[in-house]
Structure 1
Amino acid sequence: MDIPRDLFALAFYFIILLGVLLRFNQRKFSKFLLWTSIFLAGYFFTIEIQNKTFFILIPLFFFLLFCYFYFKEKCRLRNGWLLNLFLLSFVGYVTFITVTSTSLIGIGILSILIFVFFLVVLFGLYAAIIFLIGNSFIVLRHESRRLPNLLTLILALAIIGLVVLQTFGPKILPSWSVILLAIPTTIASYFFVVFWNFLSISILYQFNQPKYDQDYVIVLGAGLIDGLKVTPLLAKRIDRAIQFYRKQSAETLSPPQLLMSGGQGGDEKIPEAQAMREYAIEQGIPAEDILMEAQSTNTLENMQFSKEIMERERPAGYHAIFTSNNYHIFRAGMYAQDVGLKIDGIGSKTARYYLPNAFLREFIAVALMNKRLHLIICGLIALGFSLISIINYFFVF
């Protein structure tokens, strides 16, 4: 163990980190991640040079592979798999380096990971149940009792049901059929992995920082109050677009046009785009800087019809972004790519109590976009364990 080297590296890291945190008033977490990543890369490269080895190339390969596909098409679920594959390979690499080189920093990283792992194993499931039930009561206190607002409660009850089934099922069922209890557990584990993949790439997508050279900012519509006025949720989307509008105007003296996108629902008296336009004008945005797309009925149509307007207005080409609530921008970005729009999204803040419910709803929507694949995998899981159970009945029981 090279203690002087590691102590010097840690001192250097914390000194620079302190300077970074004092220098930046906003986005401190992203700056912390960036500096930590740079430091760890430099530190492990130094160890590789000392040992004359190249094992770091393995996680580096997966990282570069992730970067290539992410910056090519940000809103693809495969990016989540590549990101998590990189993280797993990096953890494996740190473990190897810690064992072979007795790295003090490696020991620290692994100690933190092992501590978190044991916390998850010991309390994770029960902590999740308590958190989901508590969150569901908070949501119901602030929101209506519609099905989309009950998702955290439904998930908590499903986990409780699964725990009860796995606890008492083996005591009730015949021994040959106990293997069937693995079906719901395996399917639940599969969807947990799929959800983790979706959540990790969705969170990463929140760090978009578009350049201040946009021609358009598309604002995605939502429902209206009494069919006439924007809801608080929709107002936040518009406010986020206005914030970008004003920053670009201050930076370049050339503000983008706000493209309000939303048609008229069956229970609405005016198109959402019109209500959004009126709200933006009330906030001081000039009417000439606002365009309207008032035909769309869903997010896919928001993107398709907005694209047609922008191409008509600027046939030579344009730069654009879109705004929505932070939990929604990844799926909205998927729709944008589906219609051939290469644009990024920026999210407006959502009340923290509502985020678990919102991300669950988004996950369900994204999962339904790939329902055939999920049905096939769930069917194969059920078929596999059923065959094992049948074999167990005829040849073991």
Structure 2
Amino acid sequence: MDIQRDLLALAIYFIILIGLLVRFRHKKLRYFSMWTGIFLVLYFCAIEIQKKTFFILIPLLFFSLFCFFYFKEKCRLRNGWLLNLFLISFMGYVGLVTATSSSLIGAGILAVLLILFLVTILFGLYAAIIFLIGNSFIVLRHESRKLPNLLTLILGLAIIALIILQSFGPKILPNWSVILLSIPTTIAVYFFIVFWNFLSISLLYQFNHPKYNQDFIIVLGAGLINGEKVTPLLAKRIDRAIQFYRKQSEETLSPPQLLMSGGQGADEKVPESQAMREYALEQGIPAEDILMEAQSTNTLENMRFSKEIMEREKPSGYHAIFTSNNYHIFRAGMYAEDVGLKIDGIGSKTARYYLPNAFLREFIAVALMNKRLHLFICGLITLGFVALAVINYFFVG
């Protein structure tokens, strides 16, 4: 190993990192991530130049594709695939450099990844079961016993059932039929990969930082208490919009208008947008800075009807963002792009105990948007293992 080279590189890295963290105290994570990424690229490029190789172009290609498509349309699942392809190719590249160039930094990265991998293999599945079932009891203690609040419990029990099936199935079933036990396992692995893709890009989308030059902030509606008052969940969405409203007012002296979006449900006494408007007025927002959209019944209509109002108010063009709960903004952004709105979302905080359940619910909703593709792939998996079982029965068994 070229220890002197790597120790010098690490010293430079930490000196600049400490300087950035001291200089930018309020955005530590952003500057830590940016500088770490820049440092690794420069470090590995220096090794490539020294060895006269160009392998780093492979992960950089995936990263470039990810950046191109992400900043073109942020709320697309393909961005998650490109991001994960970049991470996989980069880890493979680090492994290659470590093996061929005796990189101390590369070895450190691989060691950390290896430890995480081993911990995941040894304890991950059982830790997931304990976490999911434990979390479900916390959710049920704070929330109603409706199906959407039982998702972590259902998933935990499903994993237990799958483990039991794989453990005892081969002992009681004929040899040829054991192959069929691979169907639920393979489908579960497929949906885990799809979920990981959704979760990675959804979490990345949380780091939106829109500019303080907005004309409108769309606030997405939700249910009302007793059909007339905003719920704590909906209040957080409005509070997040008000926070941005006040920050932009301080920065530019030109506040945006809050566009409350939500119609009147069958069990509601007033439109959601009206209750939201009253809440914002109580928080000190001037009436002239509040608009209402009271026709929508779902998120897609929130975006479509809000777009019509904004185009009517500012036909020459406008800048806008939307607010919702942090777990919901990615899917809401997908609907915004579907109706031709090029806007970003900012999320309000959600109780930590509810986040696993909330992200599972969002994943199911997003998966149903592509249900034909998922049904086709699950069908291929099933047909493939059934064919193997038939072959085993007639020609092997």
- After TM superposition, the score normalised by the length of structure 1 is 0.99
Shift of 1:283: 0.5
Alpha-carbon RMSD: 0.7
Spell out, residue by residue over 1:195-218, the C-alpha distance to the aligned partner (whole angstroms, 9 max, x if none).
Answer: 000000000000101111110000
Counterpart position of 1:265 = 265
3-state SS of the aligned residue for 2:74? coil
CA distance in structure 1 between the aligned counterparts of 2:291 and 2:66, rounded to whole angstroms: 36
Shift of 1:33: 1.2
3-state SS of the aligned residue for 2:26? coil
CA distance in structure 2 between the aligned counterparts of 1:43 and 1:91, rounded to whole angstroms: 15
CA distance in structure 1 between the aligned counterparts of 2:141 and 2:294, rounded to whole angstroms: 34
Identity %: 81
Counterpart position of 1:14 = 14
Counterpart position of 2:119 = 119
Shift of 1:24: 2.9
Counterpart position of 2:73 = 73
The AA in structure 2 aligned to 1:274 is: Q
Counterpart position of 1:183 = 183
Alignment of 1:194-213 (within 5 A): 194-213=194-213
Spell out, residue by residue over 1:61-81, the C-alpha distance to the aligned partner (whole angstroms, 9 max, x if none).
Answer: 110010000000000000000
Shift of 1:141: 1.1
The AA in structure 2 aligned to 1:203 is: L
Shift of 1:165: 0.2
Counterpart position of 1:160 = 160
Alignment of 1:1-397 (within 5 A): 1-397=1-397
The AA in structure 1 aligned to 2:340 is: G
Residues 135 and 272 of structure 1, relative CA distance in 2, 3 Å threshold = same
3-state SS of the aligned residue for 2:207? coil
CA distance in structure 2 between the aligned counterparts of 1:107 and 1:10, rounded to whole angstroms: 13
Q: Say how many residue pairs are matched.
A: 397
Spell out, residue by residue over 1:128-167, the C-alpha distance to the aligned partner (whole angstroms, 9 max, x if none).
Answer: 0011111111111111111111100000000000000000
Consecutive unaligned residues of structure 2, counting only runs of 5 or more, are none
Consecutive unaligned residues of structure 1, counting only runs of 5 or more, are none
CA distance in structure 1 between the aligned counterparts of 2:119 and 2:87, rounded to whole angstroms: 20
CA distance in structure 2 between the aligned counterparts of 1:136 and 1:30, rounded to whole angstroms: 32
CA distance in structure 2 between the aligned counterparts of 1:172 and 1:30, rounded to whole angstroms: 54
CA distance in structure 2 between the aligned counterparts of 1:387 and 1:55, rounded to whole angstroms: 41
Q: Give runs of ≥4 in structure 1 deviating > 6 Å.
A: none
Shift of 1:17: 1.8
CA distance in structure 2 between the aligned counterparts of 1:10 and 1:150, rounded to whole angstroms: 47
3-state SS of the aligned residue for 1:145? coil
Spell out, residue by residue over 1:17-71, the C-alpha distance to the aligned partner (whole angstroms, 9 max, x if none).
Answer: 2222233333322222111111111111111111111111110011001000000
Spell out, residue by residue over 1:223-275, the C-alpha distance to the aligned partner (whole angstroms, 9 max, x if none).
Answer: 00111110000000000000110111111110100000000011110000000
The AA in structure 1 aligned to 2:320 is: A
3-state SS of the aligned residue for 2:109? helix
3-state SS of the aligned residue for 1:183? helix
3-state SS of the aligned residue for 2:25? coil
The AA in structure 1 aligned to 2:264 is: Q
CA distance in structure 2 between the aligned counterparts of 1:56 and 1:193, rounded to whole angstroms: 26
Spell out, residue by residue over 1:343-370, the C-alpha distance to the aligned partner (whole angstroms, 9 max, x if none).
Answer: 0000001111111000000000000000
CA distance in structure 2 between the aligned counterparts of 1:26 and 1:74, rounded to whole angstroms: 25
- After TM superposition, the score normalised by the length of structure 2 is 0.99
3-state SS of the aligned residue for 1:206? helix
CA distance in structure 2 between the aligned counterparts of 1:16 and 1:188, rounded to whole angstroms: 44
* Range with greater deviation from structure 2 (318-327 or 29-38): 29-38
